[in-house]
Structure 1
Amino acid sequence: MIDPAKTESFERFGRRWMELVDKHGGTHHGYFLPAEGASDKALALFSFPSLAAYEEYRSLFGKDAEFIDADRIRDESGCVLRYERTFMRPLLPGSPRPAPPA
């Protein structure tokens, strides 16, 4: 959840995280911000080629200066009220069908 009164700060925070995900082996697919309806929900989608690559990226949290600076935007502005993390797998056009269970 984001503070709707601090959307500009959230956008600055989000742009910085998009750069960091891409710089550290992932692909950031963007943030989706409120336009109509509930005005406090934002969604970020990003992917990594493997769990190991994601874990390497996560190991930089709180240690790497760029990550600390990005978090400072969030912390000082108060633009993020709460966040939830869900791990998903993509089903994309042209994806091979999984093998049937044995």
Structure 2
Amino acid sequence: MTITCFIRYQIDPFQRDAFRQYAENWGDIIPRCGGHLLGYFLPYEGTNDIAWGLIAFDSLAAYEAYRARLRTDPAAVENFAMAQARRFILREERTFTEVVGGTLGKPAHA
């Protein structure tokens, strides 16, 4: 079963570009450490202080192994330190979800 770690961030809306850089940095780090990066998302319209990151794993055990690799990856350590120093992430929540069969990636009908 594939699980997705759904990360909800409350960000400082005045540091949106800093969060964008933080998210872009994960683009190389997450796959290298074993996660399937589905994407990071910034608000476009509406609420301006909520962003999301979605990362898929084969299991919770795979997630735990990924977290252990993150702690020793120099680029990951640097990215975490940058976020902590600049304080653009005000709050972070993680929820683990499973996809409902037949509902993911369905294209619009023409």
**TM bucket, shorter chain:** 0.7 to 0.9
Residue 59 of structure 2, aligned match among 50, 62, 82:
50
Specify the SS of the correspondent of 1:58: helix
Give 1:73's aligned residue: 82
Which of 10, 21, 25 lines up with 1:16 in the alignment?
Answer: 25
Tell me how far 1:19 sits from its aligned partner: 1.9
Assess if the C-alpha contact under 8 Å between 1:4 and 1:40 holds in 2: yes
Q: In 1, Cα distance between the equivalents of 2:54 and 2:92? A: 13
> Which deviates further from its counterpart, 50-59 or 79-88?
50-59
Alignment-mate amino acid for residue 44 of structure 1? G
Report the Cα offset of residue 22 of structure 1. Answer: 1.0
TM-aligned CA distance change 1:92 to 1:29, over 3 Å: farther
Which of residues 54, 62, 69 is equivalent to 1:60? Answer: 69
Count, aligned residues: 95
SS of the counterpart of 1:36?
coil
Counterpart position of 1:98: none
| Match of residue 41, structure 1, among 36, 50, 62 | 50
TM-score, scaled to structure 2: 0.76
Unaligned runs of 5+ in 2: 1-9, 105-110
Runs (5+) with no aligned partner, structure 1: 96-102
C-alpha separation in 2, matches of 1:94 and 1:5: 35
1:52 offset after TM fit, Å?
A: 1.9
For the pair 1:6 / 2:2, whether they are aligned, the reply is: no
User: Identity over the aligned pairs, expressed in percent?
Assistant: 35
Offset at residue 85 of structure 1 (A): 0.6
Q: What RMSD over aligned residues (CA atoms) do the two structures have, in Å?
A: 1.8
Task: Report the structure number with the largest CA radius of gyration.
Answer: 1
